[in-house]
Structure 1
Amino acid sequence: MTDDQLPELRASDADREQVAERLREAMAEGRLDMEEFGERLDATYKARTYGELEPITRDLPAGARPAPGPAPAASKAWAERIGGAGTSSTAIAVMSGFERKGFWTVPRRFDAFALMGGGEIDLREARFEDREIVINCVTIMGGMNVIVPPGVEVDVRGFGVMGGFDRRVCEDGDATEPGAPRVIVTGFAFWGGVGVQRKMTRAEKKQLRAERKQRKELG
């Protein structure tokens, strides 16, 4: 908070957005877990004054404190992950399984089919060919799991017969980060299911645990 931002002064929408953006960055850096991020984000949008905003980012590194001005329109980190030709456009499992994970480029449309089998489509370390991609999952007596990183907008549109698509990720309250891609999960499940999860990578979780340990040691 600068000298001209007295605690009792009313905060603007731009001030709240700047704090929200810092929280998103902190989560991406592993400084906040999903639960902490959600709690602080909720407090940010409820804050009425600078005095209420200031404590929300007090324990975060430099640049965390609010100052007037618009929030950045897009995240540089996301901009660097969007673009390039897709490296794999289909996956098939017939009484077997498949995986798409690690460093790969997701095309505008990815088609996956499983018959009495299963598969995992992990987007946490992936690049994205475009800002909006479609993951089309068709499973018969099988299952699939789609994993997306925090901050990505998810729209689940698939339907099932004696099966279904997990839509909880659309209702978890996780804020979409500026510039992040949109993932549409669609398709059909018969006697099977398609799960959709929002998770950090192991490296991000490890970093988060290290940060927590360091804070605890410092008291």
Structure 2
Amino acid sequence: MSDPEARVSEQERDRVVELVQRAYADGRLGAADLERWLERALGATTSRELEPVVADLPGDPDDVVHITTTGGRVTRTGDWHVPRRLRIDSEYGRVRLDLSSAHVPHPRIDIELRLGYGGATIILPAGASANADGVRTDWGKVTCKAAGRQIPGRLHVHVTGELPYGRLTIRTARR
């Protein structure tokens, strides 16, 4: 679990400011709201103060991306935009999510996997952390080779879901 009293890095604060500005550009915040939200983001000194700014943003279009397939593969690699929450449902398919070169504008992302017989591999950028304690498997296996504790200013991936017969591997990118 991350330390809510940890000081916020400039990079983490800049990501939140970018999200607030995008909400304004999308018309989800008015001018007065923009000023108030930026003030909250720029004034935050700890993770506890910064996290609610992102969580409270109205109607984020990146809120949940839901991908469904029956037996096909789900692959995301290279320079792709990672949403704050990603849900993947597949009965027989395999999933490969490579975040090492992706655009990740959020300090934390949530991935929910619902894979009947398929497996998943999640590749994190160097320095990122992951928690897969919320993944349930019956006959499968969950392997997480990344740091489990969130590191302030670094990406943290929280993985949940069900893989009754599947296998999940989380690792950092090879150099």
Tell me the TM-score range normalised by the shorter chain. 0.5 to 0.7
Alpha-carbon distance in 1 for matches of 2:161, 2:147: 16
Match of 1:45 in 2: none
The TM-score with structure 1 as length reference comes to 0.49
8 A Cα contact 2:15 2:107, kept in partner: no
Alpha-carbon distance in 2 for matches of 1:87, 1:149: 22
Map 1:136-175; keep pairs closer than 5 Å. 136-157=112-133, 158-170=135-147
Runs of 4+ with >2 A deviation: 72-88, 90-93, 127-130, 167-171
- Higher-Rg member (1/2): 1
Identical amino acids, percent of aligned pairs: 20
The answer to whether the aligner puts 1:182 opposite 2:156 as a matched pair is yes
The answer to whether the aligner puts 1:119 opposite 2:95 as a matched pair is yes
Alpha-carbon distance in 2 for matches of 1:142, 1:192: 5
Alpha-carbon distance in 2 for matches of 1:116, 1:190: 11
Map 1:76-87; keep pairs closer than 5 Å. 76=11, 79=14, 83=19, 86=62
Query: Highest relative contact order (Cα 8 Å, sep 6+), 1 or 2?
Result: 2
Alpha-carbon distance in 2 for matches of 1:78, 1:150: 20
8 A Cα contact 1:108 1:130, kept in partner: yes
User: Structure 2: which amino acid aligns with 1:74?
Assistant: S
Shift of residue 92 of structure 1? 2.7
Query: When the two structures are aligned, how many residues end up with a matched partner?
Result: 127
User: Structure 2: which amino acid aligns with 1:102?
Assistant: G
Map 1:3-14; keep pairs closer than 5 Å. none
8 A Cα contact 1:114 1:143, kept in partner: no
Q: CA RMSD in A?
A: 3.0
Unaligned runs of 5+ in 1: 1-71, 206-219
Shift of residue 78 of structure 1? 9.4
8 A Cα contact 1:115 1:142, kept in partner: yes
Secondary structure at the aligned position of 2:95 is classed as strand
1:103 to 66, 71, 79: 79
The TM-score with structure 2 as length reference comes to 0.60
Match of 1:74 in 2: 9
Unaligned runs of 5+ in 2: 1-6, 23-60
Q: What do the CA deviations read for 1:32-85 (whole angstroms, capped 9, x no partner)?
A: xxxxxxxxxxxxxxxxxxxxxxxxxxxxxxxxxxxxxxxx95264995697466
Alpha-carbon distance in 2 for matches of 1:147, 1:88: 20
Against the structure 1 CA distance between its residues 104 and 87, is the aligned structure 2 distance closer, same or farther, given a 3 Å change threshold?
Answer: farther
